[in-house]
Every structure is written in structure tokens, then in C-alpha cells.
Chains A and B, each alone.
Chain A
Amino acid sequence: NAGVTQTPKFQVLKTGQSMTLQCAQDMNHNSMYWYRQDPGMGLRLIYYSASEGTTDKGEVPNGYNVSRLNKREFSLRLESAAPSQTSVYFCASTLGQIQETQYFGPGTRLLVL
């Protein structure tokens, strides 16, 4: 089992460019999450999907969109990247609710110039 996988591992963008971060899990989990991690600020929830076919905003959704493509895949899109979106992005999944054990991917390091 690969668990949670994320692509790409590292990306450099120019301001205004767009990109999609991919996430997939092979644990048959129902819920998936996108977080960003910035120094001194912990993990902040961007969007989540409690089940296939549903998505909801988290704490910091502005500038992002998501798609729950199927039960396995949950993508995060930056339509017009800004330097403030420079961060490390983590995808996670849980079998059920958010307070259950979260399984994280290895992260995507994004630098927006």
C-alpha cells in the first residue's frame, strides 16, 4: 500500500501562473483534506471532502479550488498563483470524520516568485 501520494514534490511558479496539485489515497478512505503548512503557523485547512461528491471550504480557501474526482483522488488548483501561496501543501485522508487518524502524504513544496 502506498498510502497517500502527492505530485509534484516540488514546484516553482511565477505570479499569475496556474497549477494543479494531485493527491491520491489507496486506503478506501471516505474523507480527504488539503492543508498548507507555513513556519510558526501549524497546519491550516484549505478545503476538505467529507465524502465522494462533496467539498467544503476550510479555514483558508481563498485563491484555491478543489475537485474530488472519485473516492481515491482529490486535487487542489491554484488558478492564479500569488507569492502568499508559497508554502508546503499536504494532502491527508481519514476513514471517516476529521478527528480520526489523519494519514498524510509527503507534501508538495511550492514556491511562487
Chain B
Amino acid sequence: TQLLEQSPQFLSIQEGENLTVYCNSSSVFSSLQWYRQEPGEGPVLLVTVVTGGEVKKLKRLTFQFGDARKDSSLHITAAQPGDTGLYLCAGALDSNYQLIWGAGTKLIIKP
């Protein structure tokens, strides 16, 4: 059974603070996606990382793919209330037609 563990499960911080969310597995992924889901809506893709060691930035969000392509992190600088949501990671396996989803990190940014 392939697992993709996200941590923390829940995070509540004040506006302006920094935070990091982690996504870890024992499986090697060909690519890894990060999605954000707001209440009552479906997930929306933020970024896809493909190369081991890759770093992508999306405004205040920084995504990193581990060198071995087994883990990834999402760092948010100076969090804002608009960053509130459920953050999901999903890893793609080469071996079969499969996308492994993490359980998500629920992030609340308090003004």
C-alpha cells in the first residue's frame, strides 16, 4: 500500500507568520502536485513539481521536491487570511495509472 503522509494535519496561526507543510512517502514519484481546497469547493491545482530537488515559487508560496522524489514541502511566507484552506498533495506513480493523495493539511490564518 502506497501512502502519502501530510503533516501537520491541522495548523492555526496568526497573519504574518511563516509556516511549512510536509508531504512524505516511502514511494518514489514521477511528479507531485499541490492543490488548495476551499470550503464547499473542489481542489484547485497550485503547482506540479517533477525534478528531484526542484524548487518552485508562487508569490509567497515556495514548493520543494525532495532530491529522491519521495517527499515535498510547501512553505508560506507572511501568511494571510486568504491562504486559509485545505492543502492536498498528490504523487504520481510511474508503475501504474495511479495518483496517491495525502489526507491534507487544514490551514487557518487568523487576522
A44-B42 contact given A99-B31, A101-B48, CB 8 Å threshold: no
- Is there an interface contact between A42 and B99, defined as CB atoms closer than 8 Å? no
Q: Which residue of A lies closest to B99 (CB)?
A: A98
Pick out which of these stretches binds chain A: B12-20, B57-65, B66-74, B101-109: B101-109
- Is there an interface contact between B97 and A41, defined as CB atoms closer than 8 Å? no
- Is there an interface contact between A105 and B42, defined as CB atoms closer than 8 Å? yes
- Shortest Cβ distance from B101 into chain A, in angstroms? 4
Count of A interface residues, CB-CB < 8 Å: 21
Interface centre among A50, A97, A102 (most CB of B within 10 A): A102
Give A105 to B43 CA distance when docked, in angstroms.
8
Q: Does A24 contact B (CB under 8 A)?
A: no
Q: Does B30 contact A (CB under 8 A)?
A: yes
Count of B interface residues, CB-CB < 8 Å: 23
- Is there an interface contact between B97 and A104, defined as CB atoms closer than 8 Å? no
Q: Mark B37-61, 1 if CB is under 8 A from A, else 0.
A: 0001111110010000000000000
Q: Mark A17-45, 1 if CB is under 8 A from B, else 0.
A: 00000000000000000000000111111
A4-B42 contact given A43-B88, A50-B97, A98-B97, CB 8 Å threshold: yes
A43: chain B residues at CB < 8 Å are 43, 88, 90, 101
Q: Which residues of A (94-113) have their CB < 8 Å from a CB of B?
A: 97-99, 101-102, 104-107
- Is there an interface contact between A42 and B102, defined as CB atoms closer than 8 Å? yes
Q: Mark A33-66, 1 if CB is under 8 A from B, else 0.
A: 0000000111111001010000010000000000
A98-B88 contact given A45-B99, A105-B42, A106-B42, CB 8 Å threshold: no
Q: Does B92 contact A (CB under 8 A)?
A: yes
- Is there an interface contact between A42 and B88, defined as CB atoms closer than 8 Å? yes
- Is there an interface contact between B45 and A101, defined as CB atoms closer than 8 Å? yes
A residues with CB within 8 A of B: 4, 40-45, 48, 50, 56, 90, 92, 97-99, 101-102, 104-107
